[in-house]
Amino acid sequence: MLALVFLCCSFSVVAYGDELAVSSVPERINITLKYAGQKVTLFGEAEVNALIITRLVSVGHETTKLNKKGKRGIFWMNVKTLVLSHVPGLYIVHTSGPLEGLPDDLLVKTETDKNYTAIRAGAQFKPEDPEKDLLMDGYIRLKETQGLYKIREGTVKTIKGRLFRSEFFMPSNAPVGLYQFDVFAIKGNTVIASGSSTIMLGKVGVENWVTSFARDHGLFYGILAVIAALVAGIGVGLVFREGPPH
C-alpha cells in the first residue's frame, strides 16, 4: 500500500534542502451532519535515520475578539475588547523524535518551536496593547485546550528508518478551508530535505446548504431561525400542557 501511495503522490514544492515526496490520505474531508472529526495520514520517504518533523497548518488567517478584564470599583468586568488577527486557526506539529537539543534558530526556521514563535511574531492586535504577550499566552492555551494547537514528539512512525507515517486528527471544531502539510527531514542540525502537501476541509450536503444560505441571505436566515424557535416552543408547550382538572 505504501508503494502505491508513493507512486501516485505528486512532488511537493521545495522549501529547504532537497525535494521530499509526501502524500496525504484522504486528500479532502467532507463535513456532514454526522461529522465528529477525522484522522488524516501523511506518508513520505526521507533519508535513512533522519529526524522527521511534520506540521499541519490552516491556510489563511483567523480573526477573533478577545475581552480584557479589569477591576472597576468592586467589580471585575470587561474593560477592553481587542481584535486578534493574522493567526492560524489550527497548528499541529508531530515529530519522530525529541526536539530537545536542536538549535533554537533551526526550530524557529521550521516554525516548530514549543513557544510558537512564528505565530506570536505574525499576530496583530487592534488596538495595540502593552500586555499582548500575556494575551497571546492565554490565546494559545485556549487553542491547546480546544485541540487546535499542539506539539507532539515521537508520534511520527518510521519504517526501516526511511519511510515515515504521521497520523493527524482533524478535530470537529477545525475551521473550514484549505490546510497545508509541511515536512522537514533533519540531520546534523540541518534541514536536508523538505516537502509539502495540501488537504481541503469542506462542508457538503445539508451542512453546506445551511452555511451558504446563512452567508448569502442573512436576513431571511434570521427570520427562519426565529420562526423555527417559536414553532419548537409551541410544540413543547402542547406536549407538556396540563390536562383539565378532574
Q: What residues form DSSP beta bridges with 179? A: 58, 199
Once rounded to an integer, what is the mean pLDDT over residues 22-41?
91
Separation CA 78–CA 70 (nearest Å): 6
pLDDT of residue 142: 94
pLDDT of residue 11: 33
pLDDT beyond 60 at 134:
yes
Once rounded to an integer, what is the mean pLDDT over residues 92-111?
93
Q: What is the distance in angstroms between the CA of the first residue and the CA of the last residue of the chain?
A: 73
Look at residue 52 and give its three-state secondary structure. Answer: strand
85: left (phi over 0), alpha (psi -120 to 50) or beta: beta
Task: Assess contact for 40 and 154: CB atoms under 8 A.
Answer: no
- pLDDT confidence of 237, banded at 50, 70, 90? low
C-alpha count within 13 angstroms, C-beta hemisphere, residue 68? 18
With residues binned 3-state (H G I as helix, E B as strand, rest as coil), the percentages for the chain, rounded to 5, are 25, 40, 30
Listed residue (155, 150, 177) closest to 166, CA to CA: 155
Separation CA 81–CA 235 (nearest Å): 40
0.85 surpassed by pTM: no
pLDDT of residue 43: 92
Cis bond upstream, residue 127 (ω within 30): yes
Once rounded to an integer, what is the mean pLDDT over residues 14-37?
83
Residue 135, amino acid = L
Each residue's pLDDT tens digit, 144-165 = 999 999 999 999 999 888 899 9
Alpha-carbon separation of residue 157 from 1, 6, 58 (angstroms):
16, 16, 23
pLDDT beyond 60 at 17:
yes
Q: How far is CA 209 from the centre of its chain?
A: 23
Q: How many CB atoms lie within 10 A of CB 197?
A: 25
Complete domains list, the chain, with CATH: 2-58+90-117+140-203 (2.60.40.2550), 208-239 (no CATH)
* Cα 90-171-180 angle, rounded to 5 deg: 40
Each residue's pLDDT tens digit, 185-221 = 999 999 999 999 999 998 864 444 444 544 554 665 5
C-alpha count within 13 angstroms, C-beta hemisphere, residue 58? 22
